[in-house]
Each structure stands twice: as C-alpha cells, then as structure tokens.
Structure 1
Amino acid sequence: MFLFHNNEVLEQYDFELGFAPTGHKEVEGDGRTPEGAYFIDRKNPNSSFYLSIGISYPNAADRARARAMGKSPGGDIFIHGTPRASLNRDDWTAGCLAVKDREMEDIYAMVNVGTPIFMYA
C-alpha cells in the first residue's frame, strides 16, 4: 500500500488480504476485496479492530452488478489493524485490508475522510 501526497510517495506499507479468491468483490460474503476507485468515507477510533478507516464500497456500479445477480453487494470494507478480541474465523480480514497496529496509527493520522483510494491487484 502506498500513501501519496500529490505525486510523492509518503509511506509504503505491507498489508494482508483474506483467503478469498482473487478478483473484484462482487457480492456480500464472497470475502474478496474491492478493486477500483473509492474514497475514505469514515474513521472509527472505536472499531472492533485496532483503529479503522472506511472505504466507500459499494459504489453505484458495484450495487448495479450485484443487483443484476440478485444479490447484495455487501459493505463495511475497511483498512484496519489487528482484532481487539479473538475472532472465531480463519479469515479475519473478510475483504478488508489489514496492516500492523503501529502502521495503522500512522495511516489513521495521515488520511482524512474524502481522500481518494485506488485499489488494484
């Protein structure tokens, strides 16, 4: 993951994704991470994970694609740290991007609501 200011890379972070198949998130529960252009739509200091910032998935195209399949697109995709409590599942990222807690502190401080985010494999 790269954090930019204009065209300058400020920071670079490794991140984890879940065990889901590759490709763009299509429907709720597929465990995939969305790909495309979104924006940061919220910050949650009281997350179930060590801090979290929300990604504006689903957008209009995501909703239309899922609706055409007769399904929900899902939502609640975040960049976050580790879980605050033990989770009873192997894939605790569930379509989100997970970073180390210390890195999440930096990201949380540097990224504002409204910041564009581009997610591509």
Structure 2
Amino acid sequence: MRRLLLSMAFLVLAVPLYTAAMARVGGTEPPALRPPDQRADLIHVDKSERRMTLLRNGHVLDSYEISLGADGDGGHKQREGDERTPEGRYVIDWRNDHSIAHLSLHISYPNAADRARARAAGEDPGGFIMIHGIANGWGWLGPLHRLWDWTDGCIAVTDAEMREIWSRVADGTPIEIEA
C-alpha cells in the first residue's frame, strides 16, 4: 500500500513538472505551405460531430477528428476561462511555430460581437483560441487525446495532422465553427 501511495504521489508531482518542462521546448521546423491550388479556402468545424474539414471550392481536401474545449458541449464561448470553443465565422490570422502545443494556427476570436457581448456582461471574452497539436512532450498520445475534450477552448488534432493542416491553411483562411 505504501509503495502504491508513493507511486501515485510521484505521478501527481511528475506529470505537471514534465508538462511544464516540455512546454518550453516548443518550436519545430514547420512544413512549407503547399501550392495555392492545394490549400483550403474554408475550414468547417462541426462541434457536435467533433470533426474539422478542410475544403477547397466546396470539395473536401481532408477531414480530422478533433478535441475541443473541456466544456465542448457548453455552447459558444462567452468569457475567458469558460473552456468553451467559440461558434461563428472567423479567420486564421496568424501562426505559431514555437507553440506549447506543437504548431498552432490562431483563430480570430473574439470578433466585435464577442467583445460587445462580453463587455455587456462585464467579462473578458478571452482569446488565444487556436487549432493546435498535442502539448509538447505528449505527442506520443496520438489519437488517444480524442478520448476527451481537454483544451481551454481550442481545437486539437494530433501532431502529424497539425503538420498537414499547417501546410494546407494560409493566414486569412476563413473558419466556420458550428454547434
């Protein structure tokens, strides 16, 4: 029993320390953007299906199973810390190749309506909503990360999928996120 308790105590301490250390490792050589005719001109996210689809001229380029914010079924993001993934139309407005979650593409949340709604409620709308890979150091989880919604409101895919998405999505690409 004592050995079990010591092992559990070690895990409780080791996992956060490992995660914090690996978060600083970030930065991987990103793949090059594909030629324009091979890039998405729209990203569609269906939260209820946990699916993100890259489209070009209405045709599917690829589709991915995703994890969402920990309150993935709670509706549209209302404020900082609610762990909800926003709903609506946004754009990919910048990318981060030194992300704590492999690579990441920033979603332009909050828009003017999101800021107004939060201001009326006296709250901060939050931000830094991304499409990203798995937290650095945890990439070995691969598709297991999809067993639960674990992000703070972002859209997560495997690291290999993130590399593919990175190469097919240019800044300025619209993204539609629906319930």
TM-score category by the smaller chain? over 0.9
Q: What SS class does the counterpart of residue 42 from structure 1 fall into?
A: strand
Name the structure 2 match of 1:100: 158
Whole-angstrom CA distance in 2 between matches of 1:65 and 1:72 = 10
Contact 2:133 2:162 in 1 (8 A): yes
Name the structure 2 match of 1:3: 54
Name the structure 1 match of 2:173: 115
1:2 maps to a residue whose letter is T
Structure with the higher helix share, 1 or 2? 2
Question: Could you tell me how far 1:22 is from its partner in structure 2?
Answer: 1.6
Name structure 1 gaps, 5 residues minimum. none
How many residues get paired? 118
Q: Which has the larger radius of gyration?
A: 2
Q: What SS class does the counterpart of residue 39 from structure 1 fall into?
A: strand
Question: Could you tell me how far 1:103 is from its partner in structure 2?
Answer: 0.4
Name the structure 2 match of 1:60: 112
Whole-angstrom CA distance in 2 between matches of 1:104 and 1:96 = 13
Question: Could you tell me how far 1:61 is from its partner in structure 2?
Answer: 0.1
Q: Alignment RMSD, CA only?
A: 1.5
Contact 1:39 1:115 in 2 (8 A): yes
Contact 1:24 1:33 in 2 (8 A): yes
Question: Could you tell me how far 1:19 is from its partner in structure 2?
Answer: 2.2
Contact 1:48 1:85 in 2 (8 A): no
Stretches (4+) displaced over 6 A? none
